[in-house]
Every structure is written in structure tokens, then in C-alpha cells.
Amino acid sequence: MYVYFNPNPRGDIRSGDCVVRALSKAIGESWEAVYLELSMLGFRMGDMPSANQVWAEFLRSYGFTRRAIPDTCPMCYTIRQFCEDNPRGLYVLATGTHVVTAVDGNYYDSWDSGDEVPVYIFERR
């Protein structure tokens, strides 16, 4: 389920770059390329590259659509459980303070974020 993934060129896990790391995995591009594209998009939108509206627009431009997590148990449905329930597909999950990519039932991150609770997801069909 959990797969270590850290494309940060310095190998830093404390840099606050979870958006860049997750989107790098989601679109299959380097950390540097994603960082640059997000920065330019943020500049055009007048916001920071890691702002929700900026990376959401980034994902939409790559064919992702957003949907909410069902509200049946809003504080107990974890990233790990989401991956168990979704063994196929490409998803970017947002928790409110963290972003992680899930591919075919595995979640890719620089730390095991499986107990985090996603609020919404982006899916590429």
C-alpha cells in the first residue's frame, strides 16, 4: 500500500513540498518541471504555487476532476482505506494540510500518510 516516493532533488522531506511531490507522481514529470509549471500558474493566478486553487487548476489541465469524499464517516475514512476501496485508478487526495497521490491501490509519499483523512480527491479517468 504505502510506497516511499520523494522526487525532491535535495531529498528533503521537511520542505513543505507535498503538492509538488504528489503532482510529480500524478503526471509523471520531474519535481523541477512541476514546481516550475505550478509557479508560473500561481504567478498568472496571483497566488502561491501550493494554493489549493492553483494546484486544482493544474490538475484540471491534466484531465483530473474533483469530487468529495462521501460524508458517511468524515473523520474515520483514511487514505489507506481509500486505497483499499479503490484498487484501480489514479487519484490525488487532499487532507486539508497534506496532498498525496494514489495509483492502483498504493499511495506514494515521503512518509506513511495512510492514517490521514482525505477531504476531497481528484481523479483522472
pLDDT at 62 over 70: yes
Q: Name which of 11-25, 27-41, 63-77, 111-125 the model is least confident about.
A: 63-77
Pairwise CA distance, residues 98 & 78, whole Å: 13
pTM score of the predicted model = 0.93
- DSSP code per residue over 59-85: HHHTTEEEEEPPTTSTTT--HHHHHHH
> Would you give the DSSP letter of residue 110?
S
Which pLDDT score is estimated for 43? Answer: 98
Beta bridge partners of 108: 3, 101
Q: Name which of 6-20, 29-43, 54-68, 104-118 the model is least confident about.
A: 6-20
pLDDT at 12 over 70: yes
Which pLDDT score is estimated for 74? Answer: 66
